[in-house]
């Protein structure tokens, strides 16, 4: 082979100086590609939770002006208590959805947890034992879900659909299809936990002024859990791995992220949240029914998605989970106050889900309208 044949090879333009570094002759890449670093302001303005918060504020202002009783201290306490269990569950759901999974079993897990805890109370055990068994049952459900999804590799939709049926069925069987309410010696403590309020107004023996709502224990529990999850999202490597799994599971695996373990933990945490919500509701109601949480999975998923979690994985926030739950409850409450037949609620809630996701769609830095226009143009071709 003649050495000169090598010379005849067309040279690739490997002159980095010509290609990359003549900043004077070339426009900066940011000007051309509209590439902008994700600054804080931009991150806020393009985030769905931000716009959902705006929508929530508008709704609250309009309702307060048109319906005086809406902004009353009692109604505020009422609304915040009603959505707290959903907010708690939405936090867990957000974590599962970030990994690209879904948990359809949360409602049924609630039912099973409340029956198990209710049974232990009925048998005269202390509330500590009952709640511990409740949490254990819920966490076990999550561990089973997580095992089949993370380690066996089954789709989470199928696994948790199975758990939805199994947990509800077990709840019915264990309860003998009876409502449990004779809670033995721990009954007052359980009720005190479920109906805890803070701060108390003077009328209830506290110090708070008349204009301050007496926020429920559920609400405070949700805020505490929300702060915890938010902190984990911001500060921990665990959460970063969670997002990486949702973005590109294979990449996460190749870079040494313990993908299976983290996915399993996500499902366990989601069921833990459902258990917490169930036990708080059990305490508030002072009774356990096997139908607790029926259909809640849809509201929780709706709240999570409205709050900006991406069903395909890789995006979601703690704040979004809570604000999404709040928006759904305020809509529900507003409809009730406006005297609209409660059968219409589903239609409104459904429309809001679609609307919220539509408003949040700002893919590629373009507004939803620009995207819609582009899509119409491509359809026309």
Partner 1 sequence: MSLLEIRNVAKSFGAIRAVNGISLTVGAGEVIGLMGDNGAGKSTMVKLIAGNFPPTEGEIMVDGKTCHFHKPIEARAQGIEVVYQDLALADNLTAAQNVFLGRELKKRVGPFLILDKQAMIDRSAALFAELQSETRPRDLVRKMSGGQRQAVAIARTRLANAKLVLMDEPTAAISVRQVAQVLALIERMKAKGVSVMLISHRMPDVFAVCDRIVVMRRGSKVADKQTAQTSPEEITGLITGAIRAA
* 158 Cα distance to chain centroid: 20
Given the complex with partner 1, which of 65 and 312 has the nearer CB atom?
312
Q: Is 365 in the site for partner 1 (CB under 8 A)?
A: yes
Given the complex with partner 1, which of 19 and 340 has the nearer CB atom?
19
Q: Is 147 in the site for partner 1 (CB under 8 A)?
A: no
Q: Is 3 in the site for partner 1 (CB under 8 A)?
A: yes
Among 45, 57, 254, 347, binds partner 1 (CB under 8 A): 254
Whole-Å CA distances, 70 to 19, 76, 212, 340, 345: 63, 7, 14, 15, 17
Given the complex with partner 1, which of 90 and 252 has the nearer CB atom?
252
CA count, 13 A, side-chain hemisphere, 2: 5
Q: Pull the structure tokens for residue 269.
A: 């945490």
Given the complex with partner 1, which of 8 and 342 has the nearer CB atom?
8
Given the complex with partner 1, which of 152 and 237 has the nearer CB atom?
237
Pick from 326, 335, 352: which is nearest to 82 by CA?
326
- Residues 255-284 vs partner 1: string with x where CB under 8 A? xxx---------------------------
Among 22, 27, 31, 37, binds partner 1 (CB under 8 A): 37
Q: Is 126 in the site for partner 1 (CB under 8 A)?
A: no
Pick from 329, 327, 325, 336: which is nearest to 67 by CA?
336
Q: Dihedral (C-alpha) 184, 80, 140, 260: value to the nearest 10 degrees?
A: -170
Coil, helix or strand at residue 215: strand
Q: Pull the structure tokens for residue 320.
A: 């979004």
Q: How far is it, in rounded angstroms, from Cα 159 to Cα 153?
A: 10
- Residues 291-330 vs partner 1: string with x where CB under 8 A? -----------------------xx---------------
Shortest CB 26 distance to partner 1, Å: 10
Q: Are 47 and 308 in contact (CB under 8 A)?
A: yes
Shortest CB 219 distance to partner 1, Å: 26
> Strands 197-198 and 215-216: what pairing?
antiparallel
Q: Is 38 in the site for partner 1 (CB under 8 A)?
A: yes
Shortest CB 231 distance to partner 1, Å: 9
Q: Is 12 in the site for partner 1 (CB under 8 A)?
A: yes
Q: Pull the structure tokens for residue 331.
A: 């809509």
Coil, helix or strand at residue 198: strand
DSSP letter assigned to residue 338: T
Q: Are 208 and 151 in contact (CB under 8 A)?
A: no
Given the complex with partner 1, which of 13 and 380 has the nearer CB atom?
13
Provide the phi-psi class of 365: left if phi over 0, else alpha when psi is between -120 and 50, else beta.
Answer: left
- Residues 219-248 vs partner 1: string with x where CB under 8 A? ----------------xxx--xx-xx-xxx
Question: Contact region for partner 1 (CB under 8 A) — 3-11, 147-155, 186-194, 292-300?
Answer: 3-11
Q: Is 370 in the site for partner 1 (CB under 8 A)?
A: no
Binding site for partner 1 (CB under 8 A): 1, 3, 5-6, 8-16, 19-21, 29, 33, 35, 37-38, 235-237, 240-241, 243-244, 246-248, 250-252, 254-257, 314-315, 364-365
């Amino acid at each position: 082979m003649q050495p000169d044949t090598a010379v005849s090879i067309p040279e690739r333009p490997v002159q980095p100086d010509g290609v990359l570094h003549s900043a004077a002759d070339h426009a900066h890449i940011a000007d051309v590609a509209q590439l902008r670093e994700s600054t804080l302001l931009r991150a806020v303005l393009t985030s769905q939770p931000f716009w959902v918060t705006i929508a929530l504020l508008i709704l609250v202002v309009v309702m307060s002006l048109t319906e005086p009783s809406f902004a009353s201290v009692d109604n505020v306490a009422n609304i915040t208590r009603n959505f707290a269990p959903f907010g708690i569950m939405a936090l867990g759901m957000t974590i599962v959805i970030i990994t690209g999974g879904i948990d359809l079993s949360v409602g049924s897990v609630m039912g099973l947890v409340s029956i198990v805890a209710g049974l232990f109370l009925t048998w005269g055990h202390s509330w500590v034992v009952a709640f511990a068994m409740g949490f254990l049952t819920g966490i076990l459900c999550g561990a089973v879900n997580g095992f089949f999804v993370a380690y066996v590799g089954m789709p989470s939709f199928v696994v948790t659909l199975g758990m939805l049926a199994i947990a509800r069925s077990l709840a019915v069987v264990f309860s003998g299809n009876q409502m449990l309410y004779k809670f033995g010696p721990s009954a007052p403590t359980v009720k005190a936990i479920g109906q805890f309020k803070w701060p108390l107004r003077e009328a209830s023996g506290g110090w708070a002024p008349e204009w301050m709502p007496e926020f429920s224990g559920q609400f405070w529990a949700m805020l505490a859990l929300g702060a915890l999850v938010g902190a984990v999202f911001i500060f921990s490597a665990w959460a970063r791995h969670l997002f990486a799994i949702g973005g590109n599971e294979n990449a996460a695996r190749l870079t040494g992220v313990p993908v299976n373990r983290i996915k399993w933990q996500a499902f366990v945490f989601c069921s833990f949240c459902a258990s917490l919500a169930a036990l708080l509701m059990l305490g508030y109601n002072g009774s356990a029914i096997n139908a607790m949480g029926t259909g809640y999975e849809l509201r929780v998923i709706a709240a999570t998605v409205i709050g900006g979690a991406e069903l395909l994985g890789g995006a979601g926030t703690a704040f979004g989970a809570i604000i999404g739950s709040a928006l759904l409850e305020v809509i529900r409450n507003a409809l009730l106050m406006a005297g609209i037949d409660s059968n219409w609620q589903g239609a409104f809630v459904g429309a809001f889900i679609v609307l919220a996701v539509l408003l949040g769609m700002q893919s590629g830095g373009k507004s939803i309208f620009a995207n819609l226009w582009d899509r119409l143009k491509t359809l026309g071709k």
